[in-house]
Amino acid sequence: MGRAPCCDKENVKRGPWSPEEDAKLKTFIEKYGTGGNWIALPHKAGLKRCGKSCRLRWLNYLRPNIKHGEFTADEDKIICSLYASIGSRWSIIAAQLPGRTDNDIKNYWNTKLKKKLLAMLPCFQKKPSFFPSLPLHSPQPYRSDLLLTNSTSPFYNYTNPNFMNLNNTTNSLQTTNLVQDLANITHLTPSPDHSSSLISLITNINSNENCFNLGFEGDHIQSMYDNPMEYQYPTSDVKEAMLVFGSGGEGHEVSATGSSSEGGSCLSQISYGNYSKSNYEKHQYQIKQEDQFSLQGFADQSQSLMIDHNYSTDQKPKGYNLKIDLEEVRQLIGNSTNNISSSYLFSNEDEYKTTHDHKEICYHY
DNA sequence: AATTTTCGCAACCGCCGGGCT
DNA sequence: AAGCCCGGCGGTTGCGAAAAT
């Protein structure tokens, strides 16, 4: 049995607010305040609205000093910085931007800023580093060397040509490039408590999540839990093959089938998890952002990006510093016409279906 | 010019935590 | 201590506008 609704949904008006309703609400609150009770407010104000709806309308639209319109470069910078630090805590981010609402910032991020930020990732801009030897604008033959062949995993032996075989030399190089690209963009600095400054790759078959993970590792496997940066390669049963960068382990929502609502899109997260080897689902502070970020660059492959960043329970960064190059973001935003990667990166569902059906590889500009 | 697709944003939904009884 | 109520929050949806075909 579910929770009782906050209001009688049959008798409340829904949908867009009329100017008359706005005026009623504004006048009432300016005169009497909210009284600390949003549920009772609409009745007092003579509105046939749910209290929550009134609250939202007031906070997001009617209250004084609300700022609408374009976000400034400085605001972009703050949003990017805070998102990199705390994730999708929109109310906290909004608190740093006077006049902006959490809803505004959330919408702005989801529709514009995120795409611009992701589009600047070198690993997606430099196609050869990720899709070496695949010429553009031409269907590609089936690549047997890109098959997954490891028969030890039920997910691994799925011979989907859209996945890379990370066991062979070619793809090790690809992966190394990928690692380097991400390291470049995030300016990751190894933690002092990881004695190895070298990034080594490990492969960790994760049967629970249909992924195998590539992680940065220090000298000991413990690093796998301490170190948040790992790549996950879903290996089966996904209509869109995708690459997820980020944290794995139980309690993380990184399943390959975790697609968001829209057909051609796939999952992406920026999450913050506190791992401990013994019980890494405890004390976990996770912030998740699902992206609608798809890539049609490799057969019917869609990809997503996850930047993961380890936090301890006091939510302070532990181990690594992630710095988004905000100047690059700003330049990118300021030069929206020069955005080759965005059209390359973002596909729509129809394109997906077309290439999926015909097993062709198409690059889009 | 008409139709379809995509985009942007306001609003809704449902979960969660805190305060009160 | 337990249960209820409410506010706050983040994710999602729906619809009108704009862009593309």
HSE toward the beta carbon, residue A89, CA cutoff 13 A: 18
Please, which residues bridge with residue A200 across strands? A217
The separation between the first and the last C-alpha atoms of chain A, rounded to the nearest angstrom, is 51
Closest to A235 measured CA to CA, from A209, A204, A269: A209
Q: CB-based contacts with strand B under 7 Å?
A: A 2-3, 9, 13-17, 50, 52-53, 56-57, 60-61, 68, 103-104, 106-108, 111-112, 346, 348-350
Q: What pLDDT is attached to residue A132?
A: 30
Q: Distance, angstroms, CA A273 to C1' C10?
A: 18
Strands of chain A, DSSP E: 200-206, 211-217, 230-234, 244-245
Q: Distance, angstroms, CA A297 to C1' B3?
A: 30
Q: What pLDDT is attached to residue A88?
A: 84
State which nucleotides on strand C lie below 7 Å from a protein beta carbon: 5-13, 15
Q: State the alpha helices, DSSP H only, in A199-301.
A: 222-226
A29-61 CB burial, b ≥16 within 10 A, e <16: beeeeeeeebeebbeebebebbbebbbbbbeeb
Q: Distance, angstroms, CA A74 to C1' C21?
A: 37
Share of chain A above pLDDT 70, in %: 30
Which residue approaches C9 most closely, CA to C1'? A91
Q: How far apart are CA A47 and CA A25, in angstroms?
A: 8
DSSP state of A113: I
Q: CB-based contacts with strand C under 7 Å?
A: A 4, 6, 15, 34, 36-40, 51-52, 55-56, 88-92, 102-103, 106-107, 110, 260-261, 287-290
Q: How many helices (H) and strands (E) does chain A have?
A: 14, 4
Q: What pLDDT is attached to residue A166?
A: 29
Q: Distance, angstroms, CA A110 to C1' B3?
A: 28
Q: Distance, angstroms, CA A344 to C1' C21?
A: 20
Which residue approaches C14 most closely, CA to C1'? A15
Q: Distance, angstroms, CA A282 to C1' C21?
A: 52
State which nucleotides on strand B lie below 7 Å from a protein beta carbon: 5-16
Rg (CA), chain A: 23
Which tokens is A163 given? 């996945």
Whether residue A285 contacts residue A263, with contact meaning beta carbons closer than 8 Å, is answered with no
Q: How far apart are CA A12 and CA A10, in angstroms?
A: 6
Q: Distance, angstroms, CA A103 to C1' B9?
A: 9
Structural domains present in chain A: 11-62 (1.10.10.60), 119-358 (no CATH)
3-state DSSP assignment of residue A204: strand
Q: From the alpha carbon of A3, which nucleotide's C1' atom is closest?
A: B14
Which tokens is A27 given? 């006048």
Q: Distance, angstroms, CA A220 to C1' C12?
A: 41
Q: How far apart are CA A250 and CA A209, in angstroms?
A: 8
A265 burial (CB, 10 Å; 0-12 / 13-18 / 19+) is buried
pLDDT of chain A, 365 residues: tens digit per residue:
334 556 776 678 888 999 999 999 999 998 888 888 888 888 889 998 988 899 899 999 998 888 888 888 888 888 888 887 888 888 888 888 888 998 999 889 888 888 777 766 555 444 333 333 222 332 332 232 322 222 222 222 222 222 222 233 333 333 333 333 333 433 333 232 222 222 222 222 222 332 323 232 222 223 333 333 333 333 333 333 233 333 333 333 322 223 333 322 222 222 222 322 223 332 333 323 333 332 222 222 222 233 333 333 333 332 233 334 444 334 333 333 233 222 222 223 233 333 333 322 222 22
Q: Distance, angstroms, CA A296 to C1' C19?
A: 22
Which tokens is A179 given? 């690692």
Q: How far apart are CA A364 and CA A341, in angstroms?
A: 9
3-state DSSP assignment of residue A319: coil
Q: How far apart are CA A227 and CA A217, in angstroms?
A: 7
A308 burial (CB, 10 Å; 0-12 / 13-18 / 19+) is buried
Q: How far apart are CA A353 and CA A300, in angstroms?
A: 8
DSSP codes, A324-354: --HHHHHHHHHTTT--HHHHHH---HHHHHH
